[in-house]
Amino acid sequence: MCFVHAVTGSTRFQGGALLQDGGFINPTLQAVPKREALEIEADQTPPFYLGMATAAPQIEGANATDGRGPSIWDIYEGIPGKIENGDTSAVADDFYHRYLDDIGAMRLLGVKRFRMSIAWPRILPNGDGQINQKGLDFYSRVLEALLVAGIEPHITLYHWDLPQALQDRFGGWNSAQIVPVFAQYASVVFNALGNYASHWTTFNEPWTFCFLGYGQGSGAPGLNDKAQAWNCVYNVLQAHAAAVKQFRALMPGAKISMNLNCDWGQPLSGSQADADAAQRKIEFMLGAFADPIFFGDFPASVKQRISYLPQITSQMAADLKGSIDYFALNHYTSTYVIGQQGAVGLQGPCDYIETQVTPDSHLIGDEADSDWLKVTPWGFRLMLNWVNNRYHPSEIVVTENGISMKGENDMPLAQALEDTQQVNFYRDYIAAATDAVKYDKVPMTGYFAWSLLDNFEWGSGYSKRFGVVHVDYRTQQRFYKASAKFLTQLFNTTVLDPTFTYPSD
C-alpha cells in the first residue's frame, strides 16, 4: 500500500462521485441517495444471510494449554513496543474455556452461521510431525456444540498464527518448504474435522500477513523485506492449491475459498492518471491473489513493476485456476488514490499513493476508533461491483465487515453498549450491499459481521473493540451491544430470548 495522510492540488471526483447528502453516483451504478434506514419491504430481510466472525488467535487464549505450541504472534507480542499497552493474546476472551457460553449467546440471538479459525499450533505444535490430539478434541467439542445449537460453522485453516517452529526452521512463508508442510496440516484438519462443516477457507487475508508481517514489520513475524513479502504471496498461492486438491478429494460436496481483503480505491481527481492508479491499487491489493486463481497469473500492472516477483509456472496456473468455489471478501473502508510516477509503497514500486484526506482537509468518511478505518458504505458497493465485473464469481460471501466505535474503550459500560456508530455502520453498509444485489445483480449470498466478541486486535491489543458483544477483560463477563440486537432483528432471525441476557451474566 502506498499511503500518505494529506495531498495538495485540485479535487473533483470521478466514478463514485460524492453527493452532498452522502450518496453517490457511478456511471455503471444506479444512483442511490443516503438513507436513514434500510428501504426494503417490511416483510423482507436483506437478500443474504447473516453470520458472526471470529479468529482463534484473537479470542481463544490458553496459548500454553493442552499442548498448544507457540505461534509467531506469541513471540511477536513479547517484543517491547510492538503491541499497545503491552497486551498479549495469552487469555484474550478465554473462548477456549467459555465457548459454550458464547455459542449459547449466538443461539439465543438466533444466529445461524459462525465463522471461526483453527489454530495451527494447537493441532501441530511444531508445525508438522506429532499431532496434538487435545487440540483436535477441543475443536471437535466446539463444532459439535455449534451443530447442536443449530449454527453452521464456516472454518478458516490459517488466520495468521504460524507455528513459531516453522519460522525458526526455514523462514516460514518466505520459503517454498512451507507448501508441503501446510498441505500436511490441512490434511490433518480435513480428515479429523471435515465432516463438521461445508464451507471452508484456506487463508485469511494473505495480503495482510505477507505485506505487514514480512514486508513492513508491523505484524508477526516482524520482518521488513519486500522480496520476502512477494515470496510469501507466491508460497501462499501454492499452499492454497495444494490444500484444495486434498479438500476436493476428501469432501467433494463442500465448498472452499480464500478470504481476500481489499479497501476500495477511489480516484482523487477526474484525471486519467488517478483513475488508472485507483485500478492499479486494487490490482496490487486484491488482484495479486485473485488474478492467479481466476486467470492463472499476476496482474500485468504488478508484473511490470515488481522485478523480484516470482513467476507462476504453467502447472501452478493450472492448479490455481478454479481453486475457489465462492469469492470470500473482507472489506472495511476506502481510500483516495493519486497517480504518482515512481511512488514506492508497502508492496514495492506502484506509481500511486493513497490518502483518506482531501486537499481541503475533508476525511473520506467518519472516523472509527482504528485510525485506518473511515466509514464509506458507498465504497463497499463499488468494491462488490469491481469483484463481480472482473471475476464473475458464481457467489460472493462477505466474510468480514465491521467497525471499532470511536472512543468505545474509554466509555462507561452503559454507554459502550449503546454503540450507535456501530449500529449506523452496519445499517449503511448492509444497505449498500443490498443495493449491489438488488440493482447491480451482484451474487452476494452471505455477510459475516466482524466480530462476535471484542477481542485481541493485533497491534492495538485490547484498545479497539470490534465486537457486537462487549467483553470485560478483567472478569470475562459479556454483554450484548445494541449492534447485536440490531443485526439479529434486521435479518429477522428467530430470537429465542427477547431479553437478550447473555448466558454467563
400 is catalytic: yes
Cα 270 to Cα 367: distance, rounded to the nearest angstrom? 25
343 membership: H or E segment, kind and range: none
**DSSP 8-state symbol, 358:** -
Q: Which of 262, 408, 252, 235 is nearest to 334 (CA)?
A: 262
Is the preceding peptide bond at 80 cis, omega within 30 degrees of 0?
no
Taken as a whole, the chain contains a residue count of: 505
Cβ pair 470, 105 in contact under 8 A: no
**DSSP 8-state symbol, 283:** I
The C-alpha cell at 392 is 464473475
Cα 461 to Cα 109: distance, rounded to the nearest angstrom? 28
Cα 110 to Cα 78: distance, rounded to the nearest angstrom? 39
Taking CA atoms, 312 is separated from 53, 89, 111, 379, in Å, by: 32, 37, 41, 31
Q: Which of 449, 448, 432 is nearest to 483 (CA)?
A: 449
For cell 462507561, the residue is 412
Q: Which of 387, 424, 384, 434 is nearest to 402 (CA)?
A: 424
Residue-wise DSSP of 335-378: EEEEE-TT-EETTEE-SEEEESB-TTS-BSSEE-SSTT-EE-HH
Cα 286 to Cα 298: distance, rounded to the nearest angstrom? 10
Cβ pair 38, 490 in contact under 8 A: yes
Q: Of these residues, 60, 77, 205, 457, which one is catalytic?
A: 205
Residue 199: helix, strand or coil by DSSP? Answer: strand
Residue 67: helix, strand or coil by DSSP? Answer: coil
Buried b (16+ CB within 10 A) or exposed e, 19-49: eeebbbebeebeebeebeeeeeeeeebbebb
HEC-encoded secondary structure of 139-155: HHHHHHHHHHCCCEEEE
Cα 16 to Cα 222: distance, rounded to the nearest angstrom? 36
Q: Is 81 exposed, middle or buried (0-12, 13-18, 19+ CB in 10 A)?
A: exposed
Q: Which of 445, 455, 182, 240 is nearest to 329 (CA)?
A: 445
Q: Of these residues, 60, 283, 354, 400, which one is catalytic?
A: 400
- Rg, Å, the chain Cα set: 22
205 is catalytic: yes
Cβ pair 463, 80 in contact under 8 A: no
Is the preceding peptide bond at 117 cis, omega within 30 degrees of 0?
no
Residues carrying an active site annotation: 205, 400
